[in-house]
């Protein structure tokens, strides 16, 4: 049975896609069979990880009921498949809004392939709309990247309130795997302060490994390679390896 992890934060640009792509790639590098589902109309993760054109996307799964396995393509990383997204997901969202079973669409689509992978990660858009709600409903747990700035922390309580509400209504077993602090700039006192505040508030839920601000991470998407292939000897690779090991320790122990 796969473990399904939704990566979410309604704040834009906090490192969701970066975490989804690089964690998926490293899990695959550590021998796990991984699927990354791109559930964001911006399709950033799909661009990042695929070299070839693809015709079907997660929008077709939602709009036309195309089986998920028919849209899955291989990524540039061995052991990592991707269910790519397209801008059509924006229209699919509107369609979802008028469907009474709207929250369960992705969960249903996933049921046919749940045995094919060790981990299924879902990258979500910067909103708490129907796409993210679908991803929460389909997940075993959520992982929340938080940029070490003021506003991203400010929005955390709204996110966790939504998760609590969803637990009551559609997914009582939804776990909170934790918070990953991202884009940490050690030259600023704000980053340190935010780290302290979040760690105090969410004791035990904050990953010890923190992702620093890193030019190589900003460059990697344009080269369409995860950091493990784009800059294998850069020290950021070690940080991401450490994060992945911490993740596996939390989930597999
Ligand atoms: N640690 C980092 N250091 C420097 N740049 C980073 C880092 N992490 C991500 N970036 C860059 O910052 C931008 C935003 O990151 P990313 O796309 O992962 O955020 P996101 O939360 O997925 O955004 P959105 O909400 O739009 O989906 C991207 O250009 C990305 O390459
Ligand atoms: Mg993104």
Mean pLDDT confidence for 183-206: 93
At 53, the pLDDT band (50, 70, 90 cuts) reads confident
- Report whether pLDDT(253) > 80: no
Q: Which atom of ligand 1 is nearest to 9's Cα?
A: 21
Residue 12 CA from chain centroid, whole number: 13
Query: Token digits for 8?
Result: 């979410």
- Report whether pLDDT(97) > 90: no
At 247, the pLDDT band (50, 70, 90 cuts) reads very high
Nearest CA to 40 among 16, 74, 56, 19? 16
Q: Can you tell me the distance from the alpha carbon of 193 to that of 188, in angstroms, rounded to the nearest whole number? A: 9
- 170 Cβ below 6 A of ligand 1: no
Residue 99: predicted pLDDT: 80
- 211 Cβ below 6 A of ligand 1: yes
- 21 Cβ below 6 A of ligand 1: no
- Report whether pLDDT(26) > 90: yes
At 208, the pLDDT band (50, 70, 90 cuts) reads very high
At 82, the pLDDT band (50, 70, 90 cuts) reads very high
Q: Can you tell me the distance from the alpha carbon of 118 to that of 129, in angstroms, rounded to the nearest whole number? A: 27
Is the separation of the CB atoms in 77 and 226 below 8 Å?
A: yes
- Report whether pLDDT(152) > 80: no
User: 159 or 84: whose pLDDT is higher?
Assistant: 84
If you measure from the C-alpha of residue 72 to the centroid of ligand 2, how many angstroms do you get, rounded to a whole number?
Answer: 19
If you measure from the C-alpha of residue 124 to the centroid of ligand 2, how many angstroms do you get, rounded to a whole number?
Answer: 7
Residue 237: predicted pLDDT: 93
User: 192 or 96: whose pLDDT is higher?
Assistant: 192
Instruction: Sketch the domain layout of the chain as residue ranges.
Output: 3-252
Domain 3-252, CATH: 3.40.50.300
Instruction: Specify the range with the lowest mean pLDDT, choosing from 21-35, 85-99, 172-186.
Output: 85-99
Mean pLDDT confidence for 125-151: 93
Q: Can you tell me the distance from the alpha carbon of 136 to that of 184, in angstroms, rounded to the nearest whole number? A: 27
Q: pLDDT tens-digit profile of 31-50?
A: 999 999 999 999 999 999 99
Mean pLDDT confidence for 147-172: 86
- How would DSSP label each residue in 110-145? HHTTTTS-SEEEEE--SSSSHHHHHHHHH-SEEEEE
- Report whether pLDDT(102) > 90: no
Mean pLDDT confidence for 103-109: 94
Residue 162: predicted pLDDT: 87
User: 27 or 101: whose pLDDT is higher?
Assistant: 27
């Amino acid at each position: 049975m796969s473990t399904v992890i939704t990566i979410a934060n309604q704040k834009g640009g906090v490192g969701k896609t970066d975490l989804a792509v690089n964690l998926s790639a490293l899990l695959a590098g550590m021998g796990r069979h991984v699927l990354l589902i791109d559930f964001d109309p911006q399709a950033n993760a799909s661009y990042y990880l695929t070299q070839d054109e693809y015709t079907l996307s997660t929008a077709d799964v939602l709009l036309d009921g195309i089986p998920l396995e028919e849209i899955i393509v291989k990524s540039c990383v061995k052991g990592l498949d991707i269910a790519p997204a397209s801008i059509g997901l924006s229209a699919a969202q509107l369609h979802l809004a008028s469907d009474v079973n709207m929250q369960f669409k992705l969960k249903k689509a996933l049921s046919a392939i749940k045995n094919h992978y060790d981990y299924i990660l879902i990258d979500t858009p910067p909103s708490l709309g129907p796409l993210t709600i679908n991803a929460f409903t389909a997940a075993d747990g959520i992982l929340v990247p938080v940029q070490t700035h003021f506003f991203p922390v400010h929005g955390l309580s709204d996110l966790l309130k939504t998760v609590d509400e969803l637990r009551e209504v559609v997914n009582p077993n939804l776990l909170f795997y934790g918070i990953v602090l991202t884009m940490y700039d050690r030259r600023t006192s704000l980053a340190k302060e935010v780290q302290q505040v979040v760690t105090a508030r969410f004791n035990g839920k904050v990953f010890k490994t923190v992702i620093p601000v890193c030019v190589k991470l900003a460059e990697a998407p344009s080269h369409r390679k995860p950091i493990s292939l784009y800059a294998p000897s850069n020290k950021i690779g070690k940080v991401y390896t450490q994060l992945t090991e911490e993740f596996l320790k939390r989930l597999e122990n």
